[in-house]
Amino acid sequence: MQFNFTDEQDEFRRTIRRFLEDTSPPSEVRRLMETDVGFDPSIWAKLCGTMGLSGIAIPEEYGGQGFGFIELALTLEEMGRSLLCAPYFASTLCAANAILNAGTEAQKKRLLPGIASGETIGTLAVAEASGAWNADAVSTTAKRVGDSFRLDGVKSFVVDGHAADCVVVVAREPGSRGSDGLSFFVVTGEADGLRRRLLTSLDPTRKLAELSFEGVSADLLGEHGAGAEPLSRTLDQAAIGLANEMIGGAQKVLETAVEYAKTRIQFGRPIGSFQAIKHRCADLLLEVENAKSAAYYAAAAEFEGDEDISALACLAKATCSDAYCRAATASIQIHGGVGFTWENDTHLYFKRARSSEAFLGTPDHHREQLLRHWGI
């Protein structure tokens, strides 16, 4: 197991950080979060084109860069650090992996190059009104009509679903239950019968949409009725990716809290000299470092094809959610009154932390699943 990033990976991280510092400073995040589309197409084009990040972990034969999950994870970590507003999570992490996991060779060749180049924006629609990301919660149906399928149902919490060109949908055969009868489908964002509604989200830097399907014509992705396995694998990868994104944000709020504690003077001394503040910072460091360990370990395990990956995904998601929420909460507290203002950036991270805590399942849910994966 890899416990350190290689020199090349460190260099790669520095390059991404520089790029994001230039293109996604807080002023830009604030500008984009107020828009409906939620990202800047010219920045997206650079990120995908010059930087090649949209295809980072997509194999070369499908138009990608052919790196592994560790590089994808550290890219997400840096994006979490800068709160990048872009459909990266939806397209590169979720949609591309769903297609890789579920699709046939021909479908991968057809669908992935567009996502790898960034010209196509993909997303993955799994959860519905119940807000659960698992097989049981899928009630959207797919009825066979000749060679094609018709989708009916309502998907929710679809990241960047309002902007996606290519929506990967998980639906079931009418009358099936649980893991049976699940399949993946692909529809275009502009398909007839698909209504898309941008949801008002707690975290305005991450756009969520509700997608209503009424007899929408869809292409089957992969094998009919065999969707449960690729779904679980895709959700594991999404959880590990999200865990890595979260520690990027957690590290950033820790740094800003510590920086503020060094410079803010009260009672004639920097507030960081008070043990009440210093000790809270020390505790945060411990929690954030342990969360990093969980996120990095899970990413390396995913890369190496570890058999325990579903458990590790749960462990990482739960640990990093808790660490990020606590770090963001503490950072506001350490900033005091100014931390509660709109002008200060901490609330942007706080909102991302809270939203990510629930996204893909709460920490409690993941801890319960962790035990079940371990046969406990």
Partner 1 sequence: MSEPTEKSVRAEVTTWLEENWSPELSLLEWRRKLADSGWGCPTWPRAWWGRGLPESLGDVVSDAFQRAGAIGVAQGGGTVLAAVTILEHGTDDQKSELLRPILTGEDTWCQLFSEPGSGSDLAGLTTRADLDGDEWIVNGQKVWTTSAHHARFGMLLARTNWDVPKHQGITYFVVEMNQPGVEARGLRQMNGHASFNEVFFTDARIPRANVLGEVGKGWGVALTTLAHERRLADGMRSMVRGSQGKGRAFDEYREEVASVMEPYRWYPQRAGRADLVLERARETGRIEDPVVRQAVAKLLTMMRTSAWTARRAKAARVLGRPPGPEGSLGKLAASELARAAADAHASIAGSDAMLSGVDGPLNGLIAEVLLSVPAVSIAGGTDEIQRNIIGERVLGLPKEPAIDVGKAYRDVPKNLAS
Q: Taking the complex as a whole, how short is the minimal distance between the CB of residue 367 and partner 1, in angstroms?
A: 4
Give min distance, CB of 19 to partner 1, in A.
24
Nearer to partner 1, 83 or 315 (CB): 315
Asked whether the beta carbons of 140 and 170 are under 8 A apart, the reply is: yes
Closer to partner 1 by Cβ: residue 224 or 373 = 373
Q: Minimal distance in Å, beta carbon 70 to partner 1?
A: 14
Separation CA 14–CA 77 (nearest Å): 12
Instruction: Yes or no: say if 209 and 154 are a contact pair by the CB < 8 Å rule.
Output: no
Strand intervals (E) in the chain:
122-125, 141-145, 148-159, 166-172, 182-188, 194-198, 208-221, 265-266, 269-270
* Closest CB to partner 1 among residues 319, 331: 319
Nearer to partner 1, 117 or 333 (CB): 333
Tokens read off for 350: 């706080």
User: Nearer Cβ to partner 1, position 196 or 264?
Assistant: 264
Q: Smallest distance, Å, CB 253 to partner 1?
A: 13
Q: Which residues contact 85 (CB under 8 A, 6 or more apart)?
A: 24, 28, 29, 32, 33, 38, 39, 40, 205
- Cβ 163 to partner 1 shortest distance, Å: 36
Contact between residue 349 and residue 328 where contact means Cβ atoms under 8 Å apart: yes
Amino acid at 306: D
**Residues at the interface with partner 1 (CB under 8 A):** 3-4, 258, 261-262, 269-270, 272-275, 277-279, 281-283, 285-286, 289-294, 296-297, 315, 318-319, 364, 367-368, 370-371, 374, 376
Which neighbouring-strand residues pair with 117? none
Question: Is 119 or 368 the residue whose CB approaches partner 1 more closely?
Answer: 368
Q: State the minimum distance, in angstroms, from the CB of residue 3 to partner 1.
A: 4
Written as one letter, the residue type at 159 is V
